[in-house]
Amino acid sequence: MAPQAAKHFTVSPNPALGFTNVALEKISGNYAYPLVLTVSDILGKTLRQELVFDKKHKLLQGDIPAGVCILKLEDQKGNFVAGGKVVWILN
């Protein structure tokens, strides 16, 4: 059986205050940049979308409230690439 592609990325620091780094090194597959990073709350409401141009991306908290956020990375065609979570501390 062939190994499955990694479908997660590293988020650090996590919990985060002000910013976090999203590292895509563990993602396997040939994906064309830019990728789309969607930040959603736990109810699924989209809080922000950003374009990711490299295997390292700095995500600023800005107006995102404290709490758990779901991170979803997709290619330009809307195909799922990877997912993760970040816990934002009160900003």
Domain limits, the chain: 10-88
pLDDT digits (tens, 9 = 90+) for 42-63: 999 999 999 999 989 999 999 9
Name the more confident of 8 and 91.
8
Distance, in Å, from the CA atom of 48 to the CA atom of 37, rounded to the nearest integer, reads: 8
SS3 33: coil
What are the two backbone dihedrals, phi and then psi, of residue 10, each rounded to the nearest 5 degrees? -95, 135
pLDDT surpassing 90 at residue 30: no
Residue 16 burial by Cβ neighbours in a 10 Å radius (0-12, 13-18, 19+): buried
pLDDT surpassing 60 at residue 2: no
Distances (CA, A) of 63 to 4, 23, 79: 36, 22, 27
Among residues 23, 38, 22, 27, the alpha carbon closest in space to that of 78 is found at 38
Please state whether the peptide bond connecting residue 34 to the residue before it is cis, i.e. omega within 30 degrees of 0. yes
- Span 30-52, average pLDDT: 94
Residue 91: predicted pLDDT: 63
Residue 90: predicted pLDDT: 84
CATH architecture of 10-88: Sandwich (2.60)
Residue 4: predicted pLDDT: 44
